[in-house]
Amino acid sequence: MTQKDTPASRPTVRLIPKAEARAIRHGFPWVYANELVMDRRTRGLAPGTIATLEDANRTAMGVVAVNPASKIICRMLDQDPDAQIDQTWFEARIARALAHRDRLYPDPFYRLIHAESDGLPGVVIDRFGDVAVVQPNAAWADVLIGMLEAALVAVTGVATVVVNGNGRARTLEGLQERMDVSVGVRPDAPLAVPMNGAIYMADVMGGQKTGLFFDQRPNHAFAASLAKNARVLDVFSHVGGFGLACLANGAASVLAVDGSAPALELAQAGAAQMGVTDRFSVRKGDAFDSLTALADAGAQFDLVVCDPPAFAPSRQSLDAGLRAYERVARLAAPLVADGGYLALCSCSHAADLSKFRNASSRGIGRAGRRGQIIHTGYAGPDHPQLPHLAETGYLKAIFYRL
């Protein structure tokens, strides 16, 4: 967008008569392509255009970002039609989000902006001290990235802003991948992140997503509460999320399994920072093959944690994803000592808690084990859920005692 946004200067888009205007008025943040009048003018809008949304009666409903190339054609930015999308607007949204995180955490390591839930649709910002990593996963954020960055620096005082424009979400928006440092100096070394008494090493330039998964923080802590003097197996460990938290709480030993050598190297670096390398070992390989091999070797653990990637990222992949979650549970359960604990996680929003729990419990049963659910965990409070949008409540962690 080259000109300054004002209510008078922006185009209008209109819902078709059968569109669910009530849901949007009550807080649902998206308009799908089949709910909008798609005349030539609307189809010709550039991705990321700021527009005024009207209902079928031409009553203004709010300010939206439009992307004719996406199935989510409009994202609600502000329900006040007179709102002006400028740096002051961005600063107000970021300041509101920051006030919440400042109450939660003593140190500036957290998810600062959780997309729609924090009023910035499609935008994710993770903070690592003086470094912020921005994922602009919607076209409007790409268009206004300079304004967003300026507001971010003004409100938080971060010295470095990394723009990580990679991933499936951008592909669905018709956006190109990008990766650059737009403010400050490129962080070429992994960043040390304190969390739950552990130290994690985050590669914000080359790691998965923003470099670290803050969402599992409360589930790491609950697992650690079970880990005193325990033998722990951390499968799909990434940079050691569960394993290092368990070591910080007195685990006797941790074996971390992952298919990524760079991720395991970062986990080892975290263990070295903590001074616990004597109790930490790694195994590179396919998780399913590793679980099978450990069972064949008669290995037993007091706590087994499996935190796989999203096996069901969409409705189309749900059935296959649930079978994969069941297989994880079936292969992991035999490795748990009698009276020990099994933690199973899913970050697939398409697999709701009930479906994921049923698949996991079925897998445990097919392994010949029985158990009780002792705890169900979710993403931390720096990943707030928007009540109207199920996708924001994606993370589940179920703890069993077998």
**b/e code 148-159 from CB counts within 10 Å (16+ = b):** bbebbbebbebe
Please enumerate in sequence order all residues whose Cβ is within 8 A of that of 191, keeping only pairs 6 or more positions apart, or say none: 128, 129, 131, 201, 202, 204, 211
A 10 A CB-CB count for 180 gives 11
Question: What is the C-alpha separation between 346 and 309, in angstroms, rounded?
Answer: 7
3-class DSSP assignment, residue 65: strand
Burial of residue 309, with CB atoms counted within 10 A of its CB: 0-12 exposed, 13-18 middle, 19 or more buried: middle
Length of the chain: 402
Residue 79 CA to residue 97 CA, distance in Å, equals 18
Q: Please give the structure tokens belonging to residue 74.
A: 């409009």
Amino acid at 224: A
Cα distance between residue 120 and residue 252, in whole Å:
43
Supply 259's token pair: 């298919």
DSSP reduced 3-state for 2: coil
DSSP H or E segment with residue 104: helix 87-104
Catalytic residues: 347
Contact 212, 128 (CB under 8 A): yes
Helix and strand element counts for the chain (H, E) = 12, 19
Q: How far is CA 22 from CA 13, 16, 29, 34, 80, in A?
A: 17, 13, 12, 16, 15
Q: Which helix (H) or strand (E) holds 356?
A: helix 353-366
91 token code pair: 């600063």
3-class DSSP assignment, residue 139? helix
